[in-house]
Structure 1
């Protein structure tokens, strides 16, 4: 066998291995994940669309913690701002406050061994979530923990799209200002958020399983009805399909990456054909290679179906939200893309309160005013380089 034949055989073998690893790993994942969502709960919420305001509040609450701090992030960077965050955790641990930090192994790969050693020496309990594991190396490398939640003293919760790094506080010239949505939560649902944290913590921490009931003090009810829905392994697609099928008048989708599944794009087109007003807000600039080109295929279909598409121009748009008929809205960690639909661990908060929805609509309206309409002719102009990137993006869209 000559060298070219050996190379081709090896490439085919790798492709077969990747396919089997992905498909069998996914089937195994589906077999043990149990669909869950909280009951309708009541709480009070602040919405933070800017990182500087969020982290000023967040760091203040961390410094005032009196009992425990439990944190899960997808990304913690290795920069001055991230160091400030880690220093607060070390200080609180030295004060005798219980501090647990869980971060995604790939998303937070810049948290190196010396930093982890310092955290543990200060008393911070640290673990990597979603470590790459045998036998499904490729599949486990793709399933990321994209949840971003914090619980302080069992009384205050945070959930949303921000991670920890300088770009999130407008210190990246290309991506500034960073636009996102993050929630601060008080009320009876905070203990439920705590339970979700410990499901992930107990899976990946080396310590024996923690009894979550020791950390869930009963909280007074708030005003806003809502529920938390954690998803992984494909269950988010089912949830979004149900939302779209329930639309009576309008749907607004805000997402940094618009790469829906075939079922979702077909359901959106069907909704447009039955007269539903569809508005989609996406970034004008991109933070990842090929994600914008991957979205063009679907945005063309939506524009042809009569949807309005807006590209946010006042910085980078990283927000994740859906508004249904002015009566329901979703704010969380999940993007409207295949990675969030089928691979990532996500958690979203669904609000069933017209007053809160109206309040959130003002935030979305501001973002639309800071956007420019995308026209079909804008993405249909002949462009060989863009077409090449679109072809590559289409092949890789499941993983973008």
Structure 2
């Protein structure tokens, strides 16, 4: 009886996922974002980022739009929400969007306090029928903050104590987050309002008050959003164009078969491949899921490094030191095929020359992984690798 139920459950999950994805793909419109000129500032420490962001929020005059995947229930998130409450009470429009699964720890008491102060708050991507399993897996993983339509942020940091080095298990937390001023803020505002419309059915995209005139900055870039589609094409195209080097920084390395093949062929062409991942994982099995890719890549000559100085959560992708991607997408199947992400692709050499020393510094705080390390007899690890292989699409 139990076996029969498990088989039926498995069949239902497969059907739910396939039909849900089919419906999802029908609704996607391939974006064609323009190149922009903005000024970009990179933050690698949470405390520095939030000091800057909170100051900008306090100085907001008209509207504050915030989307985070994870907001924890701790002192940092309380400070964050108290600040938004103060701004709403002062007459500033505040819209707050949380992912339903990522921010499930936010208390009802906190939500009520926000609403009572005038903050417009909604949870997005709530699992729904008829494809409840598929919709539960498609998360909004974007982190977007837009202040008065003229200053914006995107990157890897969420809101919680671990992101400001207050969690002993994951400290210090290493991440990359962008502050954008200039033309590119329009794209962040547009994406936030698209997500707001999807969640609330309130269309503010035509409201000019949220799109003030913006001056050109010094750095050429393109902001591309993805929804479980397009990201694989984007990454694949970049890998195929690589002539000299590819550098990948990611907390989770679980590529699709297509991306993995692209990387192997790049190594055959003589491209230098460097991958930086954390030594310690923050989720079960994600590390073991990467090992089956690391072994053949190392055999081909790839350099794999494990970050030793805390937890590495940054997401970056640099091609030939001429194109630099920084955003919310991890180098894994969940970001490729499930999550809603937003990435900034920079083609300005001066900016990239500033990013390279940051990556190099992180590599110096890392240890190179060898085949000997990965092939040491370890039955427990072998079992975990086997499990991770089966469920790697959802890790």
- TM-score class, shorter-chain normalisation, is over 0.9
After TM superposition, the structure 1 = structure 2 runs for residues 183-332 of structure 1, keeping only pairs within 5 Å, are 183-205=178-200, 207=202, 211-332=206-327
Q: 1:18 and 2:8 equivalent? A: no
> Offset of 1:205 from its aligned partner?
1.7
Partner of 1:119 in structure 2?
114
The question of whether the paired residues in 1 share the 8 Å contact of 2:228 and 2:335 is answered with no
> Offset of 1:189 from its aligned partner?
1.3
Runs of 4+, deviation exceeding 2 Å: 206-214
The DSSP-based 3-state class of the residue aligned with 1:270 is: helix
Please, what TM-score do these two structures have when normalized by structure 1?
Answer: 0.97
| CA distance in structure 2 between the partners assigned to 1:72 and 1:360 by the alignment | 25
| CA distance in structure 2 between the partners assigned to 1:39 and 1:213 by the alignment | 19
> Offset of 1:127 from its aligned partner?
0.4
Please, what TM-score do these two structures have when normalized by structure 2?
Answer: 0.99
* Aligned with 1:370 (options 361, 365, 373): 365
| Change over 3 Å in CA distance of 1:184–1:208 after alignment to 2 | closer
The question of whether the paired residues in 2 share the 8 Å contact of 1:33 and 1:233 is answered with no
Alignment coverage as a number of residue pairs: 395
Root mean square deviation, CA, Å: 0.9
| CA distance in structure 2 between the partners assigned to 1:212 and 1:26 by the alignment | 32
Structure 1 residues 300-338: Cα deviation after superposition (integer angstroms, max 9, x where no partner): 121111100110001000000001111110000000000
After TM superposition, the structure 1 = structure 2 runs for residues 26-175 of structure 1, keeping only pairs within 5 Å, are 26-175=21-170
| CA distance in structure 2 between the partners assigned to 1:381 and 1:218 by the alignment | 59
| Change over 3 Å in CA distance of 1:241–1:265 after alignment to 2 | same
| CA distance in structure 1 between the partners assigned to 2:183 and 2:330 by the alignment | 27
Structure 1 residues 29-72: Cα deviation after superposition (integer angstroms, max 9, x where no partner): 00001111420100001100000100010111010101110000
> Offset of 1:260 from its aligned partner?
0.2
Which stretch shows the higher mean deviation, 280-289 or 200-209?
A: 200-209
The question of whether the paired residues in 1 share the 8 Å contact of 2:65 and 2:94 is answered with yes
Q: Please list every run of 5 or more consecutive structure 2 residues that lacks an aligned counterpart in the other structure.
A: none
> Offset of 1:186 from its aligned partner?
0.2
The question of whether the paired residues in 2 share the 8 Å contact of 1:73 and 1:102 is answered with yes
